[in-house]
């Protein structure tokens, strides 16, 4: 499995309009947080993430946006759906999360 935590990607969703089109850095994965039967696993370790099966369409991803004007990552994080990030756009929704 490719490294997930620390990866940079672009936000393409509508849930967090202030992130639209911005470069973001992945800080953590919240397993099944976007699913109706969420399990509240907050993962900040690549090995734990691999044991949990990697990223799925039912996950939320904690990200920090890049502040270009200040040339640094924001201290504030957001939690978009995995499907709203460019690097996970090919994930498919599971039947339980319709």
Mean pLDDT of the chain: 89
User: Which alpha helices (DSSP H) does the chain contain, by range?
Assistant: 46-51
Residues 34-46: tens digit of each pLDDT:
777 766 688 999 9
Rounded Cα–Cα distance for residues 59 and 43 (Å) = 11
* pTM of the model as a whole: 0.85
Q: Where are the alpha helices (DSSP H) in 4-45?
A: none
State the greatest distance between any 2 C-alpha atoms of the chain, in Å, as a whole number.
42
- Listed by start position, the domains of the chain span 8-90
Q: Which tokens is 7 given? A: 């990866």
């Amino acid at each position: 499995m490719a490294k997930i935590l620390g990866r940079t990607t672009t936000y393409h969703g509508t849930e967090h309009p202030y992130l639209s089109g911005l470069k973001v850095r992945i800080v953590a994965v919240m397993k099944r947080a976007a699913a109706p039967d969420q399990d509240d696993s907050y993962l900040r370790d690549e090995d734990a993430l691999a044991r949990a099966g990697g990223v799925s369409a039912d996950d939320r991803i904690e990200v920090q946006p890049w502040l270009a004007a200040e040339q640094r990552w924001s201290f504030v994080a957001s939690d978009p759906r995995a499907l709203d990030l460019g690097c996970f756009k090919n994930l498919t929704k599971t039947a339980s999360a319709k």
